[in-house]
Chains A and B, each alone.
Chain A
Amino acid sequence: MKVTLWGTRGSLASAGPETVRYGGNTSCVAVEGPEDALLVLDPGTGIRRLGAVVGKARSIDVLLTHLHMDHIQGLGFFEPLYRPDIDVHIWGPPSTTQDLRSRLTRYLSPPLFPVWLRELPRVILLDVPLGSFTIGALRVDAALVSHPGPTVGYRISDGRVTVAYIPDHEPALGCRKFPDAPAWTSGFDLAAGADLLIHDAQYADEDYPAYVGWGHSSLSQAIAFGALAGVKRLIPFHHNPSYSDERIDRLIAQAPAPISLELIPGTEGLTLSL
């Protein structure tokens, strides 16, 4: 399985000299599996560059964790959406009020966007089942996680390697002491024992108290969550748009990661072969 980070920034694309190393594009991760499977985890603004290098893929699955703007903004700029020779399946979390098409059309229609969703040639919209399903040879588990609005995280396995992706997640919300027991920790089953966890780390510890309930984690909370779940490697990402590369360097250098957990800061362009 090959995992590439195309977007690592949270909330708002943040291009500039101060963010050039960790990256300014919003959440987008590509997972390439057996049999040419290509999964795209969130079409944040990072998806634009991915669109230029999809190669021979004739079927692409785009998995949305939720529909906040930073996680869908790149969708209209994903070149394969306009190609008649590629099927693009877009999976999104179910809502009790509107179907996925209605929710995505709010963005992919004038005046916010010049092209209507219905004009895209081979787009198939699907509700994410809350549970297990398969995409090609990959097993995908989806479960609701603690973040405002219907939001899921994903666990993807090829039978040999497991990757968990929880980009927007506040498992510490309401906990008197974090981490709590595994049974009472949001996202635990998704991450348990994963070879790689890509997880929200939007805040420095000192900034988190001002944003309780906004649906994100501090770097320390991300590490505590990864350690509780027994993951081997943790990529903290969804970096705060106002944090410079130097500030992220300092946070990572001071992070209280246990020896058993390899910490790999989320960096745009990073590829891991697992």
Chain B
Amino acid sequence: MQKPLELILMRQLAAHLAMPIFIADAEGMVLFYNRAAEPILGRPFAEVGERPLREWMREVNLYDEEGAFIPPEERPLPLALRDRRALHRRLQVQSFDGRRRRLEATVLPLQGQGGRILGGAVIFWELDGA
């Protein structure tokens, strides 16, 4: 089944941008992350593919600035989709390769025509490689 046009165009845009972007739909399916996001997440998207966000949450751990674990329901993307608003947070991400990275994440709910929330895009800003 075809994805909504807005998500198709968002993916095309992300594929062409050099900043790290991660896209999920409103049903909680990870749809895409671009090449710039691959070093942060520790694995190429082509290897990981589309998969439910809840599976991700078992393998990709998020911590706040002080290093405290962020439970799945309090992660920025689910919060942004639930509250239908943008969020910006400093985080630490421990991803597929086990490395922990400090970064800032901006989460934007993707609102389509008619007010439909179609998913969310996360833009990462890496602070260092620690």
Residues of A that sit less than 8 Å from B by CB? 93-94, 96, 130, 143-146, 150, 173-176, 182-189
Kindly state the separation between the CA atoms of A65 and B98 in the bound complex, as whole angstroms.
Answer: 50
Mark the stretch among B12-20, B67-75, B89-97, B119-127 that contacts chain A. B12-20
Contacts of A189 in B (CB 8 A): 1-2
Q: In the assembled complex, how far is the CB of residue A177 from the closest CB belonging to chain B, in whole angstroms?
A: 11
**Given contacts A94-B114, A130-B113, A150-B113, are A174 and B12 in contact (CB under 8 A)?**
yes
Tell me whether A185 and B113 are in contact (CB under 8 A).
no
Q: Which residues of A contact B16 (CB under 8 A)?
A: 174
How far is A145 from B114 in the complex, measured between Cα atoms in Å? 15
Comparing B3-11, B40-48, B53-61, B101-109, the segment that makes contact with chain A is B3-11
* Given known A-B contacts A182-B2, A185-B2, A130 and B9 have beta carbons under 8 A apart: no
Specify which of B6, B8, B113 is in contact with A96 (CB 8 Å cutoff).
Answer: B113
Asked if A183 and B9 make an inter-chain contact with CB atoms under 8 angstroms apart, the answer reads: no
Q: Shortest Cβ distance from A55 into chain B, in angstroms? A: 36
Give 9 pairs: A residue, B residue, CB < 8 Å, sorted on A.
A94-B113, A130-B114, A143-B5, A144-B4, A145-B5, A173-B9, A174-B9, A174-B13, A184-B2
Q: How far is the CB of B76 from chain A (nearest CB, A)?
A: 25
* Given A174-B15, A185-B2, A146:B113 Cβ within 8 A: no
Mostly, the A contact residues are loop
Q: If A94-B113, A130-B114 touch, does A176 touch B15 (CB 8 Å cutoff)?
A: yes
* Residues on B facing A (Cβ under 8 Å): 1-6, 8-9, 11-13, 15-16, 112-114
- Residues A186 and B5 in contact in the complex (CB < 8 Å), given A94-B114, A96-B113: yes
Complex contacts, A145 vs chain B, CB 8 Å: 5
- A183 touching B1 by the CB < 8 A rule? yes
User: Closest chain B residue to A188 by CB distance?
Assistant: B2
19 further A-B contacts with Cβ under 8 Å, apart from A94-B113, A130-B113, are A93-B113, A143-B5, A145-B5, A146-B8, A174-B9, A174-B12, A174-B15, A175-B12, A182-B2, A183-B1, A184-B2, A184-B3, A184-B8, A184-B11, A185-B2, A186-B8, A186-B9, A187-B2, A189-B2
With A94-B113, A96-B113, A174-B12 as given contacts, are A183 and B3 in contact (CB-CB < 8 Å)? yes
**Complex contact A146–B1 (CB within 8 A):** no
Residues in chain A near residue B1, CB distance under 8 A: 183, 189
Chain A residues with CB below 8 A from B5, complex form: 143-146, 186
CB-defined contacts of A188 to chain B, threshold 8 Å: 2
> Shortest beta-carbon distance, B110 to chain A, in Å?
13
A183 touches B2 (CB 8 A): yes
Chain B residues within an 8 Å CB radius of A143: 2, 5
Question: What residues on B are CB-neighbors of A96 within 8 Å?
Answer: 113
Contact B113 A144 (CB under 8 A): yes
Nearest Cβ in chain B — how far from A65, in angstroms?
13
Closest to A150 in B: B113
Q: How far is the CB of A117 from chain B (nearest CB, A)?
A: 23
Considering the chains assembled together, what is the distance between the CA atoms of A185 and B7 in angstroms?
10
